Amino acid sequence: MHSPIFPAALLLSLLAPAASAHMIFNTPSTWGLATQGGDLEKPLNAAFGPSWPHHGATKDTEEVVTFTPGSNPSFPITCGEAAGEPGKASGVCKTEADFHGGGGCALSIAYSSGGAPKPEDFVVFSVTHDCPTFNKFNHNFAVPANLPACESCVCAWHWVPDPDFAADESYMNTFNCAVGGTTKGKITGGKQPNYFGVSGYEGGGERPMYKSTFPAGAQKLTVGAAGKRHGDLGDDTKRAHYRSRSPAEPTHMGDHEQKSESIPAVAVSASSRSPAAPSPRFFTGRARRRRQKRGREGM
């Protein structure tokens, strides 16, 4: 019977002391930073099931990260030992194994009306492949130019580490966010985060690292009108469709919409037309000869 063979880097990370740090999204807007502190670094896996998906945290801060569409802001991603004090990272985050070989990081957003969003509510809007990196504690995340505006949303930072340096686990820190700009509507096309090693998204198989499953930079998003379901016809499209159809075709709009439509040309059925006087050309030729004949007979 053969013993399983593990990569040396993974063995070192598994045998590291319990106090060894991992990585967190280290901003004042992060849920749980004030109450859990460095414990936010703990990986999300089978052993920490109750912490999924928001690391057991709820909104406990009024601090907000405001994103400007088209910008490229930088955020501190540090070890847990620097929680609340990202400026200390270079002095306390000294264990290279804590970075688990990188793997890429992502930011996602949920246009939530309140409370804690569900995992399926989040859409990835930015990815950086060079994250996390040993001795680098600030990372840029490009923001899509068409990211819809939002005064009060919920965002999250995600990381799925390299399988050569970590077990089946992932990391996620939730934080308060807002989006400036003038783009209105909602995201109707985008990708959900890579959840891995947690309840409903078990580990095993090929590791879904962000650097191998998403392009780097601002993600391509499709934005639709607010309040409309994806695939709904817009008002202009419905009007054009109604006007171009033949009178025999059924309309796709409801009765109330048909009554409110202003249609400049209305088709009238043949049965409803008033009799029209015949054109003068019908009194030429054979008809004229018959009239002339009747006139001679009456003389």
Using 50, 70 and 90 to split pLDDT, how confident is the model at 46?
Answer: confident
Average pLDDT, the chain: 76
Instruction: Taking the CA atoms of 63, 135, 100 and 214 in sequence, report the sign of the dihedral they define.
Output: positive
Two structure tokens written together for 49? 């099931």
Residue bearing the bigger pLDDT, 243 or 157 = 157
CA distance 221 to 127: 13
* Structural domain boundaries in the chain: 8-224
Indicate the pTM of the whole model: 0.70
The size of the chain, in residues, is 299
Give the model's pLDDT for residue 225.
83
Mean pLDDT value across residues 5-34? 64
**Range with the poorest average pLDDT among 20-34, 116-130, 153-167, 254-268:** 254-268
pLDDT at residue 97 greater than cutoff 90:
no
**Range with the poorest average pLDDT among 18-22, 178-182, 257-261, 295-299:** 257-261
Give the model's pLDDT for residue 21.
58
The 10 Å Cβ neighbour count of residue 193 is 25
CA atoms within 13 A of residue 102's CA, in its CB half-sphere: 17
CA atoms within 13 A of residue 96's CA, in its CB half-sphere: 4
Give the model's pLDDT for residue 262.
33
Two structure tokens written together for 231? 């695939």
Q: What is the largest CA-CA distance in the chain?
A: 131
Per-residue pLDDT reduced to its tens digit, 220-278 = 999 998 754 333 333 332 333 323 333 333 333 333 333 333 333 333 333 333 344 44
Mean pLDDT value across residues 55-74? 96
**Range with the poorest average pLDDT among 140-154, 254-268, 284-298:** 254-268
Mean pLDDT value across residues 174-182? 96
CA atoms within 13 A of residue 4's CA, in its CB half-sphere: 4
The strand pair at 171-179 and 65-67 is best described as parallel
Mean pLDDT value across residues 153-172? 93
CA distance 80 to 76: 12
Q: Do residues 170 and 196 lie in contact, with contact meaning Cβ atoms separated by under 8 Å?
A: yes
Three-class DSSP labels, the chain: CCCCCCCHHHHHHHHCCCCCCCEEECCCCECCHHHHHHHHHCCECHHHHHHCCCCCCCCCCCCCEEECCCCCCEEEEEEHHHCCCHHHHHHHCCCHHHHCCCCCEEEEEECCCCCCCCHHHCEEEEEECCCCECCECEEECCCCCCCCCEEEEEEEEEECCCCCCCCCCEEEEEEEEEECCCCCCEEEECCCCCCCCECCECCCCCCCCHHHHCCCEECCCEEECCCCCCCCCCHHHHHHHHHHCCCCCCCCCCHHHHHHCCCCCCCCCHHHCCCCCCCHHHHCCHHHHHHHHHHHHCC
Two structure tokens written together for 102? 């990188």
pLDDT at residue 184 greater than cutoff 60:
yes
pLDDT at residue 53 greater than cutoff 60:
yes
**Range with the poorest average pLDDT among 60-74, 96-110, 260-274:** 260-274
pLDDT at residue 189 greater than cutoff 50:
yes
Give the model's pLDDT for residue 85.
96
pLDDT at residue 167 greater than cutoff 50:
yes
CATH level 3 topology of 8-224: Coagulation Factor XIII; Chain A, domain 1 (2.70.50)
Give the model's pLDDT for residue 112.
79
